[in-house]
Every structure is written in structure tokens, then in C-alpha cells.
Structure 1
Amino acid sequence: MPRNTSTQSGSTNDALPNLVTIVGRGVPSNFEISVDGEIEMVDGEPLEEATIVSGGVAEGTVDAGVRRFRFSGQMANVRLVDWNGLEAPDSPSTPTVNVNYGVSQR
């Protein structure tokens, strides 16, 4: 859910300066990401995309397409599992993950 509060400088980017992107490979997969700060979904509706975001954890599914999350703090853990239950890196079907720190929002 979008954050409605702003920081002292007036920008959500200041509060959530980092970005993690989950990129699906066309195979149903589950993901769980956790950070040592706060996390929120970007460019999507968590309920429509069956994604749960709570505190510093986001989990859900991805097939094709992208799921993006802004977060504060550091990445703590990423777990990816394909439709057969195989975890990354043992499965070539699991999504790719990109983590960028200090990324401004466009």
C-alpha cells in the first residue's frame, strides 16, 4: 500500500531510497524478500497481484512481468521458489532479482 506520510524533506524517496525488482521468467514462482527497514510495493496493487507486504517483508507470486518494491535499510533475505518447489539458484526458472541502493524515483 502506498505510503501517505512524507519525510522532513517531503519525499517518500528519502524514507524508502532503495529499490528491489523481481523479474518473472514466464513460470509461476513464489518470492519472499525481507529488509531490516520498511518496504512497500511500487506500481501495483498488492491485493490484485496476491502480494502481502507487512513491515519489512513482502511475499507473493510472479509468472511473467515485474514486481517492484521500495525499501529502507538493507536487504536481509531473498527466497525464490519455482513451481516445482526448487529454490534459486538450483532452478533456471526462478525469477531474477535486482537490488539498487539510493535510487531516485522517476
Structure 2
Amino acid sequence: MSSDTSVQNDTSGGQPDRLPNLVTIVGRGVPSNFEIAVDGKIEMIADDPVAEGTVVSGGVAEGAIEVGVQRFRFSGQMANVHVVDWNGVEMPDSAHTPEVHVDYGVSNR
């Protein structure tokens, strides 16, 4: 089992639950773009974050997904989710946009 690596440096001072919430983007086999914004801090969880091609800055993450799963840990509340398929059709009007799951209070362990 591989361990996940966060895109941003760990400044928690050893506090494992500093980003207690989780958002998961699940691709549906069609190239799609996403942008997620939180009112706290967000970090991507990935074995190789650079290969994912996702930009994370402050409380916003944006990128593209076709298949697979991308996960992000965050603090605060979800502020906005914007997802479009390859034609620019937004969720929920397109059955091809990725699924977005938001879970609050999920332990890092």
C-alpha cells in the first residue's frame, strides 16, 4: 500500500486532523474540468501530485479528470463546486461530469 503525499507542505506541527474534511472527484470516462473552493485551506492527496496536473492555491483547487479519483483534504466549509464536461456542459445537466463527494469530519488516519 502506498502512502499519500499532499501537494502542499505540512505545516500542521504534527496535528493529523488539521484538515478534517474530504472531497473526492470521481471521473466518468469523459474529459472534464473541475474547480472546488473552500473557505479554509485545501490540499490535494496524491502519490504523484505533479502527474495529476491539478493546481492548488490557498482555498481553491482546479484541474481536469477523465477516469480515476482525485482527493483533497480541506478545513472550513465547501464554498463552491464547478464541474463541466468536455463540451462545457455543467453538472447536473450532463451525465458525464465527474461525481463529487464531500465528507466532513473524516480522520486522516
- Is there any run of 5+ residues in structure 2 with no aligned partner, and where? 1-6
- Partner of 1:67: helix, strand, or coil? strand
| Aligned mate of 1:58, from 55, 58, 61 | 61
- Partner of 1:77: helix, strand, or coil? strand
TM alignment of 1:30-41, pairs within 5 A: 30-41=33-44
Answer whether contact 1:5 1:12 (CA < 8 A) is retained. no
- State how far apart, in whole Å, the 2-side matches of 1:102 and 1:18 are: 5
- State how far apart, in whole Å, the 1-side matches of 2:44 and 2:71 are: 6
- Is there any run of 5+ residues in structure 1 with no aligned partner, and where? none
Amino acid of the structure 2 residue aligned with 1:11: Q
- State how far apart, in whole Å, the 2-side matches of 1:80 and 1:20 are: 13
| Aligned mate of 1:3, from 2, 9, 16 | 9
- State how far apart, in whole Å, the 1-side matches of 2:48 and 2:79 are: 24
Quote the offset at 1:48 in angstroms.
1.2
Quote the offset at 1:40 in angstroms.
0.2
Amino acid of the structure 2 residue aligned with 1:64: V
Answer whether contact 1:20 1:68 (CA < 8 A) is retained. yes
Q: Which runs of 4+ in 1 moved over 3 A?
A: none
Q: CA RMSD in A?
A: 1.2
Amino acid of the structure 1 residue aligned with 2:43: E
Quote the offset at 1:49 in angstroms.
1.2
| TM-score normalised according to structure 1 size | 0.91
Aligned length: 103
